[in-house]
A and B are shown apart, each in its own frame.
Chain A
Amino acid sequence: SYELTQPPSVSVSPGQTARITCSGDALPRQYGYWYQQKPGQAPVLVIYKNSERPSGIPERFSGSSSGTTVTLTISGVQAEDEADYYCQSADGSGSWVFGGGTSLTVL
C-alpha cells in the first residue's frame, strides 16, 4: 500500500526555522496537504495543494514541493507552534494516506 514518510520528530529553538519533509512516490502527481494537531484537539489545515495557505493561518507557515517530497516550513517558530504535524495525499486511485506524523518541539 502507498505510504508517506515523515521524520518522527523535529526540534528547533524559538525564532528559528523548522522544516518538516514528507516523501511519497505519488507526490509529483498528487497534491500534498498539511495538518497541525495539538494535544486533545482536532487537526487543523495549515497548507493545502502543496503550498497554499488557508485564511487565518499565520504567514510563517509555508509549503513547497519538489519531486517526490513536499515540505512544510515554519519560519520564526513560536512556542504555540509546538504540535504534531501530518502530511496527507492520495494514491490516484481513490485511496488517501497520512504520513506517520512529526512531533515539533520548540526548545
Chain B
Amino acid sequence: AQSVTQPDIHITVSEGASLELRCNYSYGATPYLFWYVQSPGQGLQLLLKYFSGDTLVQGIKGFEAEFKRSQSSFNLRKPSVHWSDAAEYFCAVGAQGNTDKLIFGTGTRLQVFP
C-alpha cells in the first residue's frame, strides 16, 4: 500500500535561514506528489506538485521540491525562510489507481524564530 513518511515532526529555524523538509513515499509506479501548507485553523494550500518531467519543481512563496526516484523522496526546500512561513507542512501522494485519493503524511510543524 502507498504511504508517505515525514520523519520530522517539528522543525525550528531562524528567519533568513535555509529550510529543507523531508518526505519519503512508498509507491509502485511514477507517483503524483504534492506539498501542502496549513496555517492554524485553516485549510490546505497547494505549494507545488510533481507529475512528470523536470524533477526540480518550483512552487509558490519561493518553495521548490526535488523528486528523487532512487531515494523515493520529494523534499521541500526554501533558501531563506520568512516568519510568515511558520505553519504545518504536509507531503502527499496520489494513490495508485485513483490519483484523486491523496495519501498524506503526518505533517511537519515549522517554527520560525526572529
Do A and B actually bind? no
Q: Which residues of B contact A (CB under 8 A)?
A: none
